[in-house]
Structure 1
């Protein structure tokens, strides 16, 4: 009985499943082929190599968490929408954070479209192309940095960990943290992210409303 033919989309989808379960290091042509009941060599008819497969995986996740259309008209709403989509993608696919939090991210078609969408959030404002890039980096780096901590496997029970570690340490400011958290309150990551994002956007707003002559 002939095996069903493979498609590039099937291969990318299977590779994402492998990465979701075991991280990027688990993604090999052989293992993805096994997931599809095919040989690793069969995959090369659709994907040139492992690097090309990972590039396709990244672009697929970018499309899965595409920024909203139409774009919110105000820059602050647009950047908030962008940051929230990125935040959700990191927890849906933790390997995606490692693949994109780099100075040389994969620039596939969907990633390029997402970057264009993001930079267009500043249209109509008196900022240079380089300023747009810097301001966008502030937003994305905030989400990446926070997610880098909280996408770790040991995040469960972190609230209890901090309560136990900070009680009776002899520093009143530190001891105030578990006292305020209480015994049954777990850390709310989405609330923490939203709080920090608002402060980041507040800072950008202060910059945008300052006279251009006072900017660096």
Structure 2
């Protein structure tokens, strides 16, 4: 008689439960990502995803945006009650919106690299091929995800009358959206724009702020692209930093601490006097690379330059007979 063999995903679930029970992992601590689990237990990514899905469904862990999967707070319910969740293989009522929302949740928590049709199915607790009934594949799914989150862009109750205030509001809303969904900056190069209804609605709003100021059509489009590129160019580092933290286990500050000796050596070499003077001028606290501050500085610089362009156009119109 063949002995019963525990499935690989269940062994992972049991091991993580034991780590939590023994205090090795406390509430709020990060659980290994799907890729880390796959490496540690030598299993496929789909198996790792299934294990995390079981733990999430039973309430042992939950997803925290841009942090990942963490140990859930201790609940009053008994341990037996925690493990009565429906098995992930059971079919559920699905919809296209449900598939897209599940995919967004995965990308928000673990990045776009962790997204696959199989991982979406595992999160929904359904058969691996079920999501294909609603989307054609990952590429189509990513487009639907992007259009969905672009639809979240807030619009003021009344459009600002001033062109600058309107562009500021639009750019800041787009930056906030990328901060909420960092994977959005990874969806495609600037040279291959996403022709999505909600993205075009955003461009329409931004272009209307530029309309009527004497700018030619190509310049209006260039400015719209430049403002979006400013957001995307900074936002791409949100996802990269999250990936770096996941791979190294170090925050950006902790990583910089490991570079102190190298930096000290470079400054002491005398080969970079301006760099050395500027860095030392930041004082004992050092330079804090703040992406939000960089976004505001860049936006202000863009709009200051645009003000000169618009004013020059007005002057030319007044001088033209």
TM-score, normalization: structure 1?
0.85
1:103 Cα offset (Å): 1.8
Q: Does 1:204 align with 2:300?
A: no
Question: Which position in structure 1 is the counterpart of 2:268?
Answer: 168
Q: Does 1:194 align with 2:282?
A: no
Deviation string, structure 1 residues 15-40 (Cα, Å, up to 9, x no partner): 01222233323222111011000123
1:111 Cα offset (Å): 1.3
Any unmatched runs of 5+ in structure 2? 1-85, 245-250
Given the alignment, which residue of 110, 118, 128 partners 1:40?
A: 128
Aligned equivalents of 2:121, 2:280: Cα separation in 1: 52
Aligned equivalents of 1:163, 1:135: Cα separation in 2: 42
Distance of aligned partners of 1:30 and 1:105 in 2 relative to their CA distance in 1, 3 Å threshold = same
Distance of aligned partners of 1:150 and 1:58 in 2 relative to their CA distance in 1, 3 Å threshold = closer
Deviation string, structure 1 residues 71-122 (Cα, Å, up to 9, x no partner): 2221111111122122222232221001154322322221121111111111
Aligned equivalents of 2:167, 2:239: Cα separation in 1: 22
After TM superposition, the structure 1 = structure 2 runs for residues 1-216 of structure 1, keeping only pairs within 5 Å, are 3-149=91-237, 151-153=239-241, 154=244, 156-157=252-253, 165=263, 167-170=267-270, 171-184=272-285, 186-211=288-313
1:159 Cα offset (Å): 6.6
Aligned equivalents of 1:144, 1:159: Cα separation in 2: 24
Aligned equivalents of 1:69, 1:44: Cα separation in 2: 39
Distance of aligned partners of 1:111 and 1:211 in 2 relative to their CA distance in 1, 3 Å threshold = closer
Any unmatched runs of 5+ in structure 1? none
Aligned equivalents of 1:15, 1:66: Cα separation in 2: 22
Deviation string, structure 1 residues 155-214 (Cα, Å, up to 9, x no partner): 712776589626424233211232232333533221222112111111111111114769
Aligned equivalents of 1:149, 1:162: Cα separation in 2: 22
| Residues 170, 206 of structure 2: 8 Å contact kept | yes
Distance of aligned partners of 1:159 and 1:84 in 2 relative to their CA distance in 1, 3 Å threshold = farther
| Residues 190, 229 of structure 2: 8 Å contact kept | no
- Of structures 1 and 2, the larger Rg is shown by 2
Return the structure number with greater relative CO, CA threshold 8 A, min gap 6.
1
Q: Which moved more, 1:88-97 or 1:100-109?
A: 100-109
Higher helix share: 1
Aligned equivalents of 2:260, 2:239: Cα separation in 1: 17
Distance of aligned partners of 1:107 and 1:211 in 2 relative to their CA distance in 1, 3 Å threshold = closer
Count of equivalent residues: 214
TM-score, normalization: structure 2?
0.59
Q: What is the RMSD computed on CA atoms of the aligned residues?
A: 2.7
